[in-house]
Amino acid sequence: MSSDNAERMFLETKPGHLFFKAAIPGALGMLASSLYYLLEGILVGRVLGAEPFAAFNLAMPFVIINFAVSDMIGVGSSVPIAIKLGRGEKEEANVIFSTAVTLIVISGIVTGTLLFVSAPFLFRLMGADDHLIPLAVKYLRMYACFSPLTTMVFAVDNYLRICGKIKGSLMMNICMAAAGVIFEVFFLIILKGDIASAALGTCLGMSSAVLVTLSFFARGKMNLRFRVPKFHFSLIKTIVSCGLPTFLSNISGRIVSIIMNTLLLSLGGADAVSVYGIIMSADGVIMPLMYGTCDSLQPSVGYNWGARRFDRVGQIEKYCFGAGAVLSLLFGIFIFTFPDFAVSLFIEGGNSNIHTLGIAALRIASFAFIIRWIFVCTQCFMSAIEKPVYAAAISVSAAFIFPIILIMAFSSLGLTGIWMNLPVTSLLTAILALVILTRYKGIVRKEKESKSFSDSY
């Protein structure tokens, strides 16, 4: 698809048609990626056992932290790239793209090295025992070794969609997930590998997808092309500010997960950590679906916002919010009705304690899934129109501020208080998001006044 064709698709395609053309493939692509993480958890739990599954869940917050800086750069660069393209400033968009890719490689080297060195200390600090620490260290260190490549996977997915390669984005995620599953099955089942083999399979699948996708950009097959990077302070500031909500959400959310896991180890041991991991795995299914739907339409929102077509922006967002509401409601009802199915996916029936804890915890957590669409869609919307302060307020509140407050408020309730944290956090953040949405008309009015002022000079 040429640059002009991509621009026409984002600016001229009817919102309903655009939704089916962009959002659904984007959501399916992100679902394919998230289902792979789900399958990895299932393989680790059922093939290696409950203790490696607990170690897997202890390490996962640090794995996501490893992706946080790179994800910030990828998301943060996608917003100004889309807006530059909407304004017809294609060379400026290429420079942002090239600079961002370089920054991601550098950040991947730095964060990977730090996590590789500090892994044993981190898990010991959490209170993990001598059985869990070696397993968690093996898993995390494998990710750290592949960090410069794997951390780029979400960024290249964004760049594909900006170029109008919606089906290409879907195929990349499907192929990445399929390759990862094949590698993991080979390492874990055929070669009888350990938990490090599970991480190796994931990393090989991601790295393959990144290298193949980058080769298309390198050969000039995309609308975005590599140019000499320019590390201007103003450009880096723009990238960081636009990607900051995502970064803060990732970092603060993982800090909360680490605190939760530390509390769970003291309250219920490895079994409680495993149950929390099952809840997070369920969350890892619905959240990518909603984010995939909204994120896939962000380039179009950015194009239209840059072209000052505010009515069209509102029309596109109606589809985002509507789809998010339907997905949340259906998933929440499913988890509430069939919690035993979700638990049985990860842990065989022999561990009755995990099953009992898991069913009760998932029924409580299901109420969070029903209402999460409100703040997820609002956060994505604010990011797409370069309102990082509002987006950051939502992401930090959802991932850190409200959970920490509720950890203290519900401390006397034991494990029940931990399970209640997610739905109450979702409710409070949804209220905050609704308050922010009431300011949208004022934001548009200011944009129009700014345009009228600049046109008069």
Mean pLDDT of 20-38: 69
pLDDT above 90 (res 381):
no
Mean pLDDT of 11-25: 72
At residue 33, the pLDDT reads 65
284 CA to centre of own chain: 9
**201: helix, coil or strand?**
helix
At residue 11, the pLDDT reads 66
Q: Name the average pLDDT for the chain.
A: 83
Q: Return d(Cα 423, Cα 430) in angstroms, integer.
A: 11
At residue 273, the pLDDT reads 86
What confidence tens digit (pLDDT) does each residue in 255-308 have? 888 888 889 988 888 888 888 888 888 887 788 778 777 777 777 777 777 777
Say which residues have a Cβ less than 8 Å from residue 381's Cβ, sequence separation at least 6: 294, 301, 317, 320
At residue 2, the pLDDT reads 47
Letter for the amino acid at 68? A
Say which residues have a Cβ less than 8 Å from residue 44's Cβ, sequence separation at least 6: 52, 53, 56, 188, 195, 198
Q: Which two tokens stand for residue 106?
A: 């550098």
Say which residues have a Cβ less than 8 Å from residue 131's Cβ, sequence separation at least 6: 51
At residue 195, the pLDDT reads 92
What confidence tens digit (pLDDT) does each residue in 309-341 have? 777 888 888 888 888 899 899 999 999 999 988
Q: Which two tokens stand for residue 335?
A: 């988890």
At residue 439, the pLDDT reads 79
**Do residues 197 and 191 lie in contact, with contact meaning Cβ atoms separated by under 8 Å?**
yes
Q: Is the dihedral of CA 357, 281, 420, 261 positive or negative?
A: positive
Mean pLDDT of 47-70: 87
pLDDT above 80 (res 152):
yes
CA angle, 119 then 415 then 53, to 5°: 40
Provide the pLDDT confidence category of residue 456 given band limits of 50, 70 and 90: very low
**265: helix, coil or strand?**
helix
What confidence tens digit (pLDDT) does each residue in 426-448 have? 999 999 999 998 877 666 666 66
**141: helix, coil or strand?**
helix
Mean pLDDT of 369-379: 90
At residue 404, the pLDDT reads 93
pLDDT above 60 (res 191):
yes
